[in-house]
Structure 1
Amino acid sequence: MTSRAPGKRVRKAPAERRNEIVATAARIGLTDGLECVTLRRVADELGVQPGLVGHYFPAADELVAEAFTHATMAELDGLLPPEPDGPLRTFRRFFGLTSSADFDDVSKLWLNARHLSRYRPVLRDHVVKQELLWCRRLEELITAGTAAGVFACADPWGAATRILVAIDGASAYINTSADQRRTPTADMPRTVAESELGLRRGMFLTD
């Protein structure tokens, strides 16, 4: 009879381990809410001791903030790629995704984060930074479309801000009325964008 020594646990590089912790926390935040992002919950998900998570994030608020940024940054890159495929096509895809059930989790995350920001200054700083990033990404797309003669917009930053406010407004009831997608306000973000950019109604409808 031979005995088998227990396998050695592979020690991950600090950057890899930290990224793993943040990604896990982001997944928890998206599915269950940022209040559920705790050192113990993340450790349980990863199968490690809470002390290991605490080594990278001594304060849970820092982990919550990083989780929010990780999730919303990934969503931003998916919705508005840094290298868009033409302004019209990019906007059509954008509104197709933001009006679908695929956007529900991130809508809930934004509502959750803005509420918690009242009490968590670190999270508030991350929320403000992400808001600016989202506005800037839209502004760049609008500016490019205007320069190409596709849009007619004298104030790309203002238009970007108003479009995002319309999206936030339309998703404000996501926790209670997600099944009412065809309400009178369902198309509001798209129609606001078309008006802001000097387009006829329906130009941003998906093919």
Structure 2
Amino acid sequence: MTSRPEATRIRKPPGERRAEIVRTAAGIALAEGLERITLRRIADELGVRPGLIGHYFPAADDLVSEAFTHAATDERESLLPPDEHELPPVERLARFLVRLTDGEYRDLSRLWLNARHLSRFKPGLRSAVTTQESATRTALADLLEEGHRAGDFTTDDALGVALHLLVTIDGLGAYANDDTQLDHPALDDMAITTAERLLDLPEGTLRMRATSPEPTERPIRGRRGARKQPLG
């Protein structure tokens, strides 16, 4: 009688395992909230022992901060994809704002509400939130300044317009947890119409440019795939 050889357990390289842990935690944060991130929960999701998660993240709060950073960065890149950099600035801005009018980004709005609340009590998360706010603000202000130089729209204060738009988007996002909120077209287009007013663009320009059938056009996509039509 021959004995069956023991199954060989494959160890993942430390960098790969750490990235897997952060990705898993970020998915839980988006779907259920940052409070749901625990070492045991991540271990259960990955089918490993909690001690392995603790080896990479001795403090659960560190994993919470990295999970938020990963999710926020991933979502920002889906709103302002690097591979669209060659498109005209007005078209990139249009796509950014129109993507945000789609309820597919409600999880992101909920995550930001969640993170800002918890950051009052978690210094590491507060630092992560501040860093991500700065990155998004800078990316949008740079886009607006580029569009001004290209003659796509008019602004003497790109940072000021970026702040105005982000505060509007955050205001809309404050309703992300309310599934019974008032359903009115003004809410869907508030950030878009605000941008058109501040940048001296004709009404309807941004929605038109977000879906214009040009050779450079790419399907509007987010982390869940193609959009049906071009929240915060």
TM-score by length of 1: 0.94
1:146: how far off?
0.5
After TM superposition, the structure 1 = structure 2 runs for residues 54-93 of structure 1, keeping only pairs within 5 Å, are 54-82=54-82, 83-84=84-85, 85-93=87-95
Equivalent residues in 2 for 1:70-149 (5 A)?
70-82=70-82, 83-84=84-85, 85-149=87-151
| Comparing 50-59 and 170-179, the one that deviates more | 170-179
In structure 2, the residue matched to 1:12 is 12
8 Å Cα contact 2:90-2:153 kept in structure 1: no
Match of 1:202 among 201, 204, 222: 204
Alpha-carbon distance, 1:192 to partner: 1.3
Distance 1:199 1:55 in 2: 54
Report the AA paired with residue 188 of structure 1: M
Cα distance change, pair 156–56 in 1 and its aligned pair in 2 (3 A): same
Deviation at 1:92? 2.0
2:165 aligned to which of 163, 188, 195:
163
Distance 1:132 1:4 in 2: 57
Aligned pairs, how many?
Answer: 207
| Alignment root-mean-square deviation, CA | 1.5
Q: Cα gap change, 1:132/1:103 in structure 2, threshold over 3 Å: closer, same or farther?
A: same
Match of 1:151 in 2: 153
State how far apart, in whole Å, the 2-side matches of 1:163 and 1:177 are.
23
Amino acid aligned to 1:31: A
User: Taking structure 2 as the reference length, what is the TM-score of the superposition?
Assistant: 0.85
Q: 1:42 to 1:178 in 2, by over 3 A?
A: farther
1:2 and 1:166 map into 2 onto residues whose CA distance is 70
State, as a whole percentage, how many aligned pairs show the same letter.
50
Return the letter of the residue paired with 1:153: T
Deviation at 1:171, TM superposition (A): 1.6
- Unaligned ranges ≥5, structure 1: none
**Structure 2: how far apart are the matches of 1:20 and 1:11?**
13
- Could you say what secondary structure the match of 2:206 adopts? coil
Gaps in structure 2 of 5+ consecutive residues: 212-232
Q: Once the 2 structures are TM-superposed, how far is the Cα of residue 70 of structure 1 from its aligned partner?
A: 0.1
* Worse overlay, 179-188 or 48-57: 179-188
